[in-house]
Chain A
Amino acid sequence: MTTADALAGAPGGRGFLDRVRRGSAGPVAVVLAAIVAIWYLGAIQLNTPRIVDQYGRDGRATWTFAELVADSWSMERPVLPAPHQVAVELKKSVLDIAVTSRRSLVFHAWVTMSSALLGFAIGAALGIALAIGIVHVRTLERSLMPWIIASQTVPILAIAPMIIVVLGSVGLVGLVPKAIISTYLCFFPVTIGMVKGLTSPEPIHLDLMRTYSASTAQTLWKLRWPASLAFLFPSLKVAVALSVVGAIVGELPTGAQAGIGARLLVGSYYGQTVQIWAALVVAAVLAGLSVAAVGGIERLALRRAGAQP
C-alpha cells in the first residue's frame, strides 16, 4: 500500500483522478506522453532560431512550418535534441557498438559504476561505523558530528579536484580517487540514518537486554542493529544515487579517458549535445537501477525480518 493509496481512501474509485492516485498503467503512460510532448515542444522552441538563421544563410526566403519543425527535430548539434535523436544515439552507442569499444556507452557506464559501487561500499561501511561510534561514545558525537555536517556544506565540485590531486600525489590514481569522492558524498546520509536507527529501540526493549545482563556488543547485534534496518535502507537508497553522482563528478576535473563524466566532457568540447544527453540518460538509468536494486534487497531483508505485508 502506498501513501497515495491511503490518501485516496477506498481503492474502488473509478474516476481518472482515482486511477492516477493508484498509479494504474494508463495514467502513468499519459503522464509519460505529456513529458515527451513538452520535450518535443521545447526542442522546437529552442532550436528554431538557429534553423531560421541557417535558412537565411542558405538564401531560402520561404519555408513551411512543417519544414521548420522537422528540421528543428533533426539538427546535428541542436540546443536541445529531440527525444528520438537521443534514442537513436542510445541505440547506436549502447546496442550497436561492441561493449569493449571506447565508443560504447556500456563501456563508459561500467567504468563509472565500478568506481561508484566501490565508493558506495566504502561509504556505507564508513557511515555505519561512524554511527555505531557516535551512538556508543558521547565524545564522538560531540567531536565528530560538527565535522560530518560541515563536510557536506562544501561543494563537491570544489573539493573533488583537490582530492584527485592530493591522492594523485601519493600515487593513487584511476578508480580509487573517484571512489573516494563517491564515499565523501554517500557516507553522510548513512551516518545520519543509522544514528537515528541505532537509537530507535524503545526503552522497554533496552531494559529487557539489561535484565539479561547483555553486553554492549550483544545489545548492538541483537537489538540496535535489527531495529535500525528500517532506517538503513532509505539512507542507502540516497547514498547509492549520490555515489553515481560522485563518480561522474570525479571524472570531470582530471579529464578522465573513460566513464560517463568523460563522455560528458568530450561531448561539451565538440558541442555534441546529442551525445551529452545520451550520457545523461544513461547516468539517470544507472542511478535509478541502483536505487531499485537497494529497494529489492530492502524488501527481501524486511520480509525476512517479519515485516507485515
Chain B
Amino acid sequence: MTAIVSVESGRAAGKPRAGAAPGTAPGTVAVEIRGLNLTFQTADTPVFALSDIDLTIGRGDFVSLIGPSGCGKTTLMRVIADLQKPTGGMVSVNGVTPEIARLRRAYGYIFQAPALYPWRTVIRNITLPLEIMGVDKAERLSRAKRVLDLVNLGGFERKFPWQLSGGMQQRVSIARALSFDPELLLMDEPFGALDEIIRDHLNEELLRLWKRTGKTVVFVTHSISEAVFLSTRIVVMSPRPGRIVDVIDSNLPADRTLDMRETPEFVALAHRVREGLRAGHSYDDR
C-alpha cells in the first residue's frame, strides 16, 4: 500500500498520489485512515489522544463520530482537516494527504461556534472564503445568494452577526462552508450550543441539505439521538486512549422525519450506540 504518512507530508508532494487504498474503487472513498496515532507530549506523561484509528469514509456518506468528552473525536476531525498533525499512521483525504487536501480547499469546516467575523455582514461573511480563493465579485455574490437560500436565510444579507440568533448564525456558518462547494463537510458539534428545539429543526434542515447536495459529511456530536437521526454510519469512540469501539451502519430509510425517533429501528440503533459507549467505559465514574 502506498503509505501517505501525514508527518512526512509537504508541499514537495505537489502531484496527487494515485487513488485510494487497494481494494476500493478510486473515487468512492472520501477519507481513509489507517493505524492513526496522536500523542500529546505533556510535562509528566504522554497523553494518547488517538490510538490505532482505522476508518474509511465513503463518498456521499454521512458519518457521525460520537463519544464522551476527551475521546478524541474533535482531534480526529482536526487531523482530517490538517489543523493538527498526527504522530503516526496514514490519513488520506480524496486520495491525497490532509495538507494537500487543505491546500486544494477540499473541505468546509464548521466549528462548534459560528466563528463569524463580527465586522462583516452576513453576505460578506459568506463571501469571505470566495474572496480568499480569488473568485470575482459578481460570481461571489451570486454564489452567496444561492447558499443563503439553501439555509433559508434569504433576506438577511445586510445584517451583522450580532443581529441574528445563535441558530441563524450557525446556519450562516454552514452557508459559508457551502459557498465554495467543497465535496467534504467537517462539522464539529455544530449544534452543540443550541437548545433542543432549534437543534431538532436544524437537524431536519441539515438532512435535506445533505440529500440535495450529495456532500460527504463527517459530524462530531455527543448526542446519541442526533447521531442516529442524521447518520448513514455511526462511529462510537471512547476515551483514554481515544479509540474506535464500534462502527454501526444505519438501516434507517433515507427519508427521515423527527417522528421516526420513536420507531423500534431507531430505538435499537440508539441502544447499540449506548452499548458501544458502555463497552468503552464511557459511563464509568472518573
Binding site for B on A (CB under 8 A): 202, 204-205, 207-214, 218, 222-223, 226-227, 229, 305-306, 308
Q: Are B102 and A208 in contact (CB under 8 A)?
A: no
Q: CB-CB < 8 A to A226: which residues of B?
A: 117, 119-120
Q: Bound state CA distance, A210 and B102, in angstroms?
A: 8
A222 to B124, CA, bound (A): 11
7 cross-chain pairs, A with B, having the tightest CB-CB distances, nearest first: A306-B160, A305-B119, A211-B109, A204-B115, A226-B119, A212-B132, A214-B132
Q: Provide the residues of chain A in CB contact with B128, threshold 8 Å.
A: 212, 222
| Binding site secondary structure of chain A | helix
Asked if B260 lies at the interface with its beta carbon under 8 angstroms from chain A, I say no
Q: What is the total of A-B residue contacts with beta carbons within 8 Å?
A: 54
Interface residues of chain B: helix, strand, loop or mixed (majority)? loop
With the chains together, A223 CA to B115 CA distance in Å? 12
Q: Which residue of B lies closest to A214 (CB)?
A: B132
Whether B83 and A211, one on each chain, are in contact in the complex, defined by CB atoms closer than 8 angstroms, is yes
B109 touches A208 (CB 8 A): yes
Contact residues, B93-107 vs A (CB, 8 A): 102-103, 105, 107
CA distance A305 to B133 in the complex (A): 23
- Interface flag for B22 (CB, 8 Å): no
Closest-CB distance, B185 to chain A (whole angstroms): 11
B57-89 residues at the A interface, CB under 8 angstroms: 81-83
Contact code string B110-142 (vs A, CB < 8 Å = 1, else 0): 010101011111000000110111000000000
Chain B residues near A227 (CB-CB < 8 A): 119
Query: Besides A212-B132, A306-B161, A306-B162, 5 other CB < 8 A contacts?
Result: A209-B132, A210-B82, A212-B105, A223-B117, A226-B119
Q: Which residues of B contact A (CB under 8 A)?
A: 81-83, 102-103, 105, 107-109, 111, 113, 115, 117-121, 128-129, 131-133, 160-162
Q: How far is the CB of B96 from chain A (nearest CB, A)?
A: 13
In the complex, what distance in Å separates the CA atom of A202 from the CA atom of B107?
Answer: 21
CB distance from B84 to the nearest CB of A (A): 10
| CB < 8 Å neighbour of A210 from B83, B117, B121, B161 | B83
CA distance A213 to B161 in the complex (A): 24
Given known A204-B113, A222-B128, A308-B162, contact A211–B118 (CB-CB < 8 A): no
B107–A306 CB distance below 8 A = no
- Min CB–CB distance A107 → chain B (angstroms): 42
How many angstroms between the C-alpha atoms of A226 and B128 in the bound complex? 13
CB distance from A174 to the nearest CB of B (A): 41
Min CB gap A309→B, angstroms: 10
> Can you list 8 pairs linking A and B with CB atoms under 8 Å apart?
A204-B115, A207-B83, A211-B83, A211-B102, A211-B107, A222-B132, A305-B118, A306-B161
Instruction: Name which of A202, A213, A223 has the most chain B CB atoms within 10 A of its CB.
Output: A213
Q: Is the Cβ of A204 less than 8 Å from the Cβ of B162?
A: no
User: Which residues does chain A contribute within 8 Å of B160, judged by CB atoms?
Assistant: 306
- Asked if B108 and A211 make an inter-chain contact with CB atoms under 8 angstroms apart, the answer reads yes
CA distance A239 to B284 in the complex (A): 59
